[in-house]
């Protein structure tokens, strides 16, 4: 636990639903298990509805509430603004916070469009000149097995990267009667499976390999074009499309190929229609000297293959990433006791706070988020142009 004498980092969070809950857990738990150079203070949470925001504050431990996020920019006890809202509000909130001198943590994807992401990256660059920092929340980087994979690739353990396979498979929308939500509206979400979960697959592939995508070719598909509005009688709506239903304006699934900066080939798949798959974020990297494989549904395990081993005993080795020597793990439980989804958000807080205290740029930066946004836009452009190849800067 950080000593009581540690300087305080006042946090104001905007949004308190799914991501707000996970971020709240991270801010609350991090100083209890890690020695942090700054002590996070959960000063205020902002939400649209007063009663719901107050309930979230009581539940998660925020000191005060507001229904106007702009008030966070005026508070002297708020040093950092944590943006946990739908994508259509990211740019406005983040840019305003940075211009007001507040550090920013923003959920992924960075924005709904490349233009918005460019404006956010430019604001972050301006702010950095004044010592104000910004980070985008690709938290799967902070899973110990994934961080270990990055270390092994950087150490040259698998040699030259030749193939990357990344998938993010879910089934939470496979039921055609599932109701409309903001994630199915392009003006709020930007894109569907591509941006919501495909962004994680893109970031994970680039993070682990240390290489950026140089071009992509892809297809998007929407399987269910209309869904019942929340509260509608699904049975009564059958056969009466358009009455009591909402139009789905995003993709349900995305598949695309790409080329890595080192010349390797990459394939990606993101879908919310993979029946039976709940949260299968998968990555396999094949190199000239070995391979690595990860599946978030078995998140404490990294599969490692060393091609230089004796063929008689060669094969993938199951590495349980729960030893004190593994990234982040030493602060938690005895070896062999696994971590969960929520721990990556605690690790995000640790990395961010340590970077802020050291005066260095936390990673991933808004520039990194912009690069992922450009990949997403290129996949959309390719799909619209019949899978035409789209080069990336």
One-character DSSP codes across 33-84? HS--SSEEEEEEEE-SSHHHHHHHHHHHT-SEEES-GGGGGG-TT--EEEE-
Which token pair is 121?
Answer: 């990256």
Considering the chain, what percentage of its residues have pLDDT values greater than 70? 96
Question: Mean per-residue pLDDT for 59-70?
Answer: 98
Does residue 234 carry a pLDDT above 70?
A: no
Question: Which of the four pLDDT bands, split at 50, 70 and 90, describes residue 77?
Answer: very high
Does residue 109 carry a pLDDT above 90?
A: yes
pTM for the full predicted model: 0.94
Instruction: Give residue 5's pLDDT.
Output: 72
Q: Is 163 exposed, middle or buried (0-12, 13-18, 19+ CB in 10 A)?
A: middle
Does residue 95 carry a pLDDT above 90?
A: yes
Predicted confidence (pLDDT) per residue in 24-46, tens digit: 999 999 999 999 999 999 999 99
Which token pair is 329?
Answer: 């793990």
Question: Mean per-residue pLDDT for 254-268?
Answer: 98
Instruction: Give residue 2's pLDDT.
Output: 43
Which of 55, 124, 45, 135 minimizes the C-alpha distance to 345? Answer: 135
Which token pair is 279?
Answer: 């949260």
Predicted confidence (pLDDT) per residue in 170-192, tens digit: 999 999 999 999 999 999 999 99
Strand partners, 14: 46, 83
Instruction: Give residue 232's pLDDT.
Output: 67
Instruction: Give residue 6's pLDDT.
Output: 84
Give the containing element (helix H, strand E) for 20.
helix 18-33
Asked if residue 294 lies in contact with residue 283, where contact means CB atoms within 8 angstroms, the answer is yes
Instruction: Give residue 144's pLDDT.
Output: 98
Instruction: Give residue 235's pLDDT.
Output: 54
Instruction: Give residue 184's pLDDT.
Output: 97
Instruction: Give residue 128's pLDDT.
Output: 98
| Domains recognised in the chain with CATH numbers | 8-140 (3.40.50.720), 142-391 (3.30.360.10)
Instruction: Give residue 1's pLDDT.
Output: 43
Does residue 239 carry a pLDDT above 50?
A: no
Residues 167 and 280: their CA atoms lie apart, in Å, by: 7
Q: What is the mean pLDDT of the chain?
A: 95
Does residue 242 carry a pLDDT above 80?
A: no
Greatest extent of the chain over all pairs of C-alpha atoms, in Å: 67
Question: Mean per-residue pLDDT for 278-298?
Answer: 98
Instruction: Give residue 231's pLDDT.
Output: 77
Instruction: Give residue 260's pLDDT.
Output: 98
Predicted confidence (pLDDT) per residue in 130-152, tens digit: 999 999 999 999 999 999 999 99
Instruction: Give residue 233's pLDDT.
Output: 61
Residues 358 and 352: their CA atoms lie apart, in Å, by: 10
Between the alpha carbon of residue 383 and those of residues 216, 389, 391, the distances in Å are 10, 9, 14
Question: Which of the four pLDDT bands, split at 50, 70 and 90, describes residue 301?
Answer: very high
């Amino acid at each position: 636990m950080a000593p009581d004498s540690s300087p305080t980092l006042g946090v104001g969070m905007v949004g308190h639903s799914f991501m707000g809950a996970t971020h709240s857990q991270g801010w609350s738990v991090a100083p209890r298990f890690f020695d942090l150079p700054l002590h996070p203070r959960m000063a205020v949470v902002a939400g649209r509805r007063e009663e719901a925001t107050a309930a979230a504050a009581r539940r998660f431990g925020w000191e005060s509430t507001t229904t106007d996020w702009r008030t966070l920019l005026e508070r002297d006890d708020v040093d950092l603004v944590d943006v946990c809202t739908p994508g259509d509000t990211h740019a406005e909130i983040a840019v305003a916070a940075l211009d007001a001198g507040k550090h920013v943590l923003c959920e992924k994807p960075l924005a709904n469009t490349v233009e918005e992401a460019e404006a956010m990256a430019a604001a972050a660059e301006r702010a950095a000149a004044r010592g104000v920092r910004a980070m985008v929340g690709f938290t799967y980087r902070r899973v110990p097995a994934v961080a270990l994979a990055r270390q092994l690739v950087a150490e040259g353990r698998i040699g030259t990267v030749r193939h990357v396979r990344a998938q993010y498979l879910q089934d939470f929308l496979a039921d055609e009667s599932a109701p409309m939500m903001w994630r199915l509206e392009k003006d709020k979400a930007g894109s569907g499976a591509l941006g919501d979960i495909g962004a994680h697959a893109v970031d994970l592939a680039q993070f682990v390999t240390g290489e950026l995508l140089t071009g992509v070719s892809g297809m998007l598909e929407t399987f269910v074009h209309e869904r019942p509005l929340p509260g509608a009688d699904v049975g009564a709506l059958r056969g009466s499309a358009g009455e009591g239903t909402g139009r789905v304006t995003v993709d349900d699934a995305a598949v695309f190929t790409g080329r890595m900066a080192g010349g390797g080939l990459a394939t990606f798949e993101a879908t919310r229609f993979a029946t039976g798959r709940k949260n299968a974020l998968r990555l396999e990297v094949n190199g000239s000297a070995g391979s690595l494989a990860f599946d978030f549904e078995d998140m404490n395990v990294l599969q490692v293959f060393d091609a230089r081993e004796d063929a008689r005993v060669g094969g993938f080795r199951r590495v349980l990433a729960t030893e004190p020597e593994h990234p982040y793990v030493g602060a938690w439980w005895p070896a062999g006791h696994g971590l969960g989804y929520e721990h990556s958000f605690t690790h995000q807080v640790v990395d961010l706070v340590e970077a802020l205290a050291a005066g260095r740029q936390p990673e991933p930066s808004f520039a990194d988020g912009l690069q992922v946004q450009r990949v997403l836009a290129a996949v959309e452009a390719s799909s619209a142009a019949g899978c035409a190849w789209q080069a990336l800067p």
